[in-house]
């Protein structure tokens, strides 16, 4: 067939397919053999994901990638804390992560994640959650919504996606619509208020209400045929009705757990992590747990100026909760099935600012993973002597997203559709092969 025999549409389609085949490890290349390249990875075996969000910009060299000691008083660049050895030979973390250090052989540290958003928290948060820059013409779905859309809940009568954090568009379903949205939690012990039936409503009265509501929903959908907002609202109503039974609400009874376990998890953030484990047991697929408790050190992880002084309080809370979560999931035989991700919008530079804190740094920072059937007990990527730039094995945000999707058995090169427009799940992301056996 000559070029003149091929329509413009066919030529573009074939060119795009060739580009995808070259760019994604999932796509086979015609004529290629295993001896000519890496053996294609089999799909990951993880069933759930707990995504721990350190909102504000956690400093990588003060946590997972310590460097030589600095001094804010003399403005000497470097880490704020001493480094300690871990269960992975040759890999150190900061002194305030001793419990995580002991179980670091259950982790994979990706120390060279990077992007190009520096001075805007919201844009960087969006980048880390959606894997893409913001666009004026399309609202992209978050990683949680894509997992919910592709995998759904693991059991009946539970949501696929639960958010214990900040309910905004960055965490939302974007063009996927309300069915890929999240259930938002405020109180870890009471559950969503909108799902609880008032004590004075009997079963018979509830049944009558549901019958009337079903009729109203049917009429509304008929009158508003094709209007997406109405369809989304109806989908949200249906999800709320499905989750309002006692089976799901019982998960919030944290007092069922042994007191010493609850104590080991720690305060409010730790109780959120404990609830995340209980949600996993009930079949929730993806849970985001926020650790941005500004009252702990005055600034949360946004450690400009004086926020640096009490940063260790946040790190210690993180250490207690995450190490306990890892061991608790292991005890319940769920660690191999549950991918834990600990991420922030960017890192912090080695230099100290005028108030003794740090600015923003997105050129190299660490994302920690644990469990999930990964090849554990390793640090991937190397940064320079102050953690300011990548020396070896850069990992883009799309690469990191592709790795998470792969771990959860989702093809990161698959296309979703925003209306008639095809949108690949990742922005040309490539799976980090080293993270898998």
Q: What is the pLDDT of residue 127?
A: 97
Please give the domain boundaries of the chain with CATH numbers for all domains: 42-196+247-435 (3.40.720.10), 197-243 (no CATH)
> Which burial class, exposed, middle or buried, applies to 17 when counting CB atoms under 10 A from its CB (0-12, 13-18, 19+)?
exposed
Q: What is the pLDDT of residue 166?
A: 83
Residues 6+ positions from 255 with CB-CB distance below 8 Å: 189
For residues 84-100, b (16+ Cβ closer than 10 Å) or e, as one string? Answer: eebebeebbbbbbbebb
Q: How far apart are the first and last CA of the chain?
A: 43
Hey, what are 420's tokens? Answer: 């008639």
* CA neighbor of 66 nearest in space, from 77, 58, 78: 78
Q: What is the pLDDT of residue 18?
A: 36
Q: How far is CA 303 from CA 81, 311, 374, in A?
A: 14, 7, 32
> Which burial class, exposed, middle or buried, applies to 14 when counting CB atoms under 10 A from its CB (0-12, 13-18, 19+)?
exposed
Per-residue model confidence as pLDDT tens digits over 348-362: 999 998 889 999 999
Q: What is the pLDDT of residue 34?
A: 34
Per-residue model confidence as pLDDT tens digits over 69-120: 999 999 999 999 999 999 999 999 999 999 999 999 999 999 999 999 988 9
Sign of CA pseudo-dihedral 120, 121, 127, 128: positive
Q: What is the pLDDT of residue 6?
A: 39
Q: What is the pLDDT of residue 248?
A: 76
Q: What is the pLDDT of residue 29?
A: 27
> Which burial class, exposed, middle or buried, applies to 139 when counting CB atoms under 10 A from its CB (0-12, 13-18, 19+)?
middle
**Could you list the pLDDT tens digit for every one of the 437 residues in the chain?**
333 333 433 433 333 333 333 333 333 323 333 333 455 667 789 999 999 999 999 999 999 999 999 999 999 999 999 999 999 999 999 999 999 999 999 999 999 999 999 889 999 999 999 999 988 889 999 999 999 999 999 998 899 999 998 888 999 999 999 889 999 988 777 666 555 555 565 656 655 655 576 666 566 667 666 666 666 655 655 555 455 556 677 888 899 999 999 999 999 999 999 999 999 999 999 999 999 877 787 788 999 877 899 999 999 999 999 999 999 999 999 999 999 999 999 999 999 988 899 999 999 999 999 999 999 999 999 999 999 999 999 999 999 999 999 999 999 999 999 999 999 999 999 999 999 98
Per-residue model confidence as pLDDT tens digits over 411-422: 999 999 999 999
Determine the Cα–Cα distance for residues 193 and 199; give it in Å rounded to an integer: 13
Determine the Cα–Cα distance for residues 292 and 54; give it in Å rounded to an integer: 6
**Long-range contacts from 138-142, C-beta under 8 angstroms, 24+ separation:** 138/174, 138/175, 138/418, 138/421, 138/423, 139/169, 139/172, 139/174, 139/175, 140/174, 140/175, 140/423, 141/172, 141/173, 141/174, 141/175, 141/176, 141/180, 141/416, 142/170, 142/171, 142/172, 142/173, 142/174
Q: What is the pLDDT of residue 199?
A: 58
Q: What is the pLDDT of residue 52?
A: 98
Q: Given the structure tokens 């799940």, which residue do they identify?
A: 425
Per-residue model confidence as pLDDT tens digits over 230-277: 666 556 555 554 555 566 778 888 999 999 999 999 999 999 999 999
Determine the Cα–Cα distance for residues 60 and 360; give it in Å rounded to an integer: 11
Convert 8-73 into a string of H (helix), E (strand) and C (coil). Answer: HHHHHHHHHHHHHHHHCCCCCCCCCCHHHCCCCCCCCCCCEEEEEECCCCCCHHHCCCCCCECECC
Determine the Cα–Cα distance for residues 76 and 435; give it in Å rounded to an integer: 35
Q: What is the pLDDT of residue 265?
A: 98
* CA neighbor of 90 nearest in space, from 387, 389, 378: 378
């Amino acid at each position: 067939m000559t070029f003149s025999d091929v329509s413009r549409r066919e030529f573009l389609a074939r060119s795009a397919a060739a580009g995808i085949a070259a760019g994604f490890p999932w796509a086979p290349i015609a004529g290629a053999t295993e001896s000519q390249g890496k053996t294609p990875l089999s799909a990951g075996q993880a069933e759930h994901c707990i995504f721990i969000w350190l909102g504000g910009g956690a400093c990588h060299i003060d946590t997972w990638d310590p460097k030589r000691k600095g001094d804010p008083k003399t403005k000497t660049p470097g880490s704020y804390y001493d480094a300690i050895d871990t269960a992975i030979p040759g890999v150190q973390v900061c002194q305030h992560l001793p419990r995580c250090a002991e179980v670091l052989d259950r982790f994979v540290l990706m120390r060279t994640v990077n992007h190009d958003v520096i001075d805007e928290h919201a844009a960087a948060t969006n980048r880390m959650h959606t894997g893409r820059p913001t666009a004026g013409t399309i609202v992209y779905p978050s990683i949680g919504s894509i997992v919910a859309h592709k995998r759904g809940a693991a059991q009946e009568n539970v949501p696929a996606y639960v958010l214990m954090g900040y309910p905004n568009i960055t965490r939302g379903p974007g063009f996927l619509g309300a069915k890929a949205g999240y259930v938002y939690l405020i109180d870890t012990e009471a559950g969503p208020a909108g799902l609880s039936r008032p004590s004075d409503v009997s079963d018979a009265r509830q049944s009558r209400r549901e019958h009337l509501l079903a009729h109203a929903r049917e009429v509304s959908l008929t009158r508003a045929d094709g209007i997406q907002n109405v369809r989304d609202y109806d989908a949200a109503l249906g999800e709320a009705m499905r989750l309002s039974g006692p089976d799901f609400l019982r998960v919030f009874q944290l007092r069922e757990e042994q007191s010493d376990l609850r104590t080991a998890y720690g305060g409010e953030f730790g109780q959120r992590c404990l609830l995340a484990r209980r949600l996993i047991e009930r079949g929730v697929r993806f849970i985001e747990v926020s650790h941005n408790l500004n009252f702990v050190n005055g600034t949360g992880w946004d450690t400009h100026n004086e926020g640096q002084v009490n940063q260790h309080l946040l790190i210690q809370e993180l250490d207690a909760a995450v190490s306990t979560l890892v061991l608790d999931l292991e005890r319940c035989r769920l660690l191999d099935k549950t991918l834990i991700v600990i991420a922030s919008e960017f890192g912090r530079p080695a230099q100290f600012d005028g108030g003794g804190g740090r600015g923003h740094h997105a050129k190299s920072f660490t994302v920690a993973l644990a469990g999930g059937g990964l090849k554990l007990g390793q640090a991937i990527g190397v940064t320079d002597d102050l953690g300011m730039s990548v020396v070896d094995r850069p990992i883009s945000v799309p690469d990191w997203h592709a790795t998470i999707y792969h771990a959860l058995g989702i093809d990161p090169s698959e296309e979703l559709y925003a209306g008639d427009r095809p949108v690949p799940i990742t922005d040309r992301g490539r799976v980090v092969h080293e993270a898998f056996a």
